[in-house]
Amino acid sequence: MEYRRAASGGQYVANTGSITAEGLVLCECSACKGAKAVPNSFFEEHSGSKVRRPAQYTYLTDFNLSLKVGAAATGVAGGGFAAATGAPACMQLLWALHASCA
C-alpha cells in the first residue's frame, strides 16, 4: 500500500507499507523502517501529512484504489465488523482484505 500526496502535476508516493494480520499498517517510513505496525491515521502522519483524511490518500497498490473508494465499492462500511468493533470503514477494509488473503 502507498500513501500518496498531492503535488503540482499529480501525486507522488510519500510512504509505503503493508497490511498486518491485525489490519494495521507495517510502516516503511524512515523512522519505522518496516518494524512498526501502526493504525492508518499514524501511517498518514508518518507520511508527513496533516490532512487527517488517511483513507482518501492511502492506496492499495494492487488495485490502484484508495481505501475510501474501496470501502464504499466493496460495501464493507456498516457490515458486521463495523458493528462489532466500531472501526472506521478504511480499517474494516484493511482487515477484510487481509482476512481474504490469509
| pLDDT score of 30 | 94
* Regions in the chain scoring below 70 on pLDDT: 70-102
What pLDDT digit, counting tens, does each position of 73-87 carry? 666 554 444 444 455
Residue 37: all three cell numbers together: 505496525
| pLDDT score of 10 | 81
Question: Which segments of 1-102 are extended strands (E)?
Answer: 2-7, 10-19, 25-27, 36-38, 58-60, 65-66
d(CA 91, CA 59): 13
Q: Structure pTM? A: 0.68
94 lies in which domain range? 2-101
Report the SS3 class of residue 43: helix
Tally of domains in the chain:
1
- For residue 75, the one-letter residue type is G
| pLDDT score of 83 | 43
d(CA 57, CA 36): 20
